[in-house]
């Protein structure tokens, strides 16, 4: 089922498609995070990425619970947006030699992922409520709260030390 195709005829179809989109995205994120953990040089950043990987695995289980409540099999719909965000992150990270600058880039990439997830979960929660599926909205709200918390932690890490280290590492012209 592609977005904006004849396969999406109803609001329920649209809801299911967006659920499949975020399910696919979360699964892609679990593949990308180990690479980010390996590339990160700051111990706190590595630890934060590891924590988020564990959290993402729980979020996938929550999505599977939502599929079950809908009487659907968990299935992903290819998400070009998350693929693009991850591809860009990999390309940028492979071009950076300085470790401090690399950590700043990894945080920026992780925040791009978080912001994508925040938009998807926010929309799914609103649609769940519109469809009278308050139990699903509550399950998705747990994940949205975690996504906001992760974004806040990344911002704190970037603004408290990582960005300054990256700037200091940049040679003056």
* Domains of the chain with CATH codes: 11-162 (1.20.1260.10)
Q: Find where tokens 């932690």 sit.
A: 153
DSSP string spanning 62-91? HHHHHHHHTT--------HHHHHHHHHHHH
| pLDDT tops 80 at residue 1 | no
Give the C-alpha separation, 12 to 27, whole Å: 23
Q: In the predicted model, what is the mean pLDDT of the chain?
A: 93
Q: What is the predicted pLDDT for the residue at 126?
A: 98
pLDDT 10s digits, 114-168: 999 999 999 999 999 999 999 999 999 999 999 999 999 999 999 999 999 999 9
How distant, in Å, are the alpha carbons of 64, 90, 106 from that of 77? 14, 22, 26
Q: What is the predicted pLDDT for the residue at 2?
A: 46
pTM for the model stands at 0.91
pLDDT 10s digits, 46-62: 999 999 999 999 999 99
């Amino acid at each position: 089922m592609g977005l904006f195709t004849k396969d999406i005829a109803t609001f329920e179809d649209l809801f299911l498609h967006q659920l499949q989109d975020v399910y696919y995205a979360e699964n892609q994120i679990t593949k990308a995070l180990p690479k980010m953990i390996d590339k990160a040089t700051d111990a706190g950043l590595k630890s934060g990425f590891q924590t988020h990987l564990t959290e993402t695995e729980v979020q996938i289980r929550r999505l599977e619970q939502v599929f079950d409540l809908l009487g659907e099999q968990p299935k992903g719909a290819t998400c070009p947006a998350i693929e693009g965000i991850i591809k860009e992150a990999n390309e940028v990270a492979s071009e950076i030699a300085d470790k401090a600058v690399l950590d700043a880039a990894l945080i920026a990439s992780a925040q791009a992922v978080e912001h994508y997830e925040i938009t998807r979960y926010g929309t799914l929660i609103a649609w769940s409520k519109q469809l009278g599926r308050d139990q699903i909205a509550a399950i998705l709200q747990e994940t949205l709260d975690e996504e906001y918390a992760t974004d806040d932690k990344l911002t704190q890490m970037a603004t408290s030390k990582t960005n300054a280290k990256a700037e200091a590492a940049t040679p003056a012209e």
